Amino acid sequence: MTGGEIFTVPYFSKFLKYLKSKNIIVELLTNGTLIREKDVEFLSQVLNPKTDSVQISLEGPEKVNDFIRGEGVFKKVKNSIKLLTDKNIRVCMSMTINSLNACYIEEMYDFCRELKV
């Protein structure tokens, strides 16, 4: 499921519950900036930790990501990742490679390992 940003869709929770009632494997794609504790609590009750996941986008380490996506985004996303992983929700990270961040692939790999992503 992707949007725009799925956490702004008013019927998101209803639709997700419907998909899971049909045993459909779900991957949610998000920029990770709007995830709140109540969202994580809901996801932990609905998603299957073995098959479902949340994919979050980062574009590199903090200075690069925030240059591309806006100041403060990296910290918001990192916090969202921690909220999700603390509730045993599988998180995948995506990164669009470009001339600004290609040299940070190994650093981002280590960052993902550190956060258990």
Tens of pLDDT, residues 38-72: 999 999 999 999 999 999 999 999 999 999 999 99
Q: How far apart are CA 76 and CA 71, in angstroms?
A: 10
Positions of the chain with pLDDT lower than 70, given as ranges: none
- Angle between helix axes 37-46 and 73-86 (nearest 10 degrees) is 40
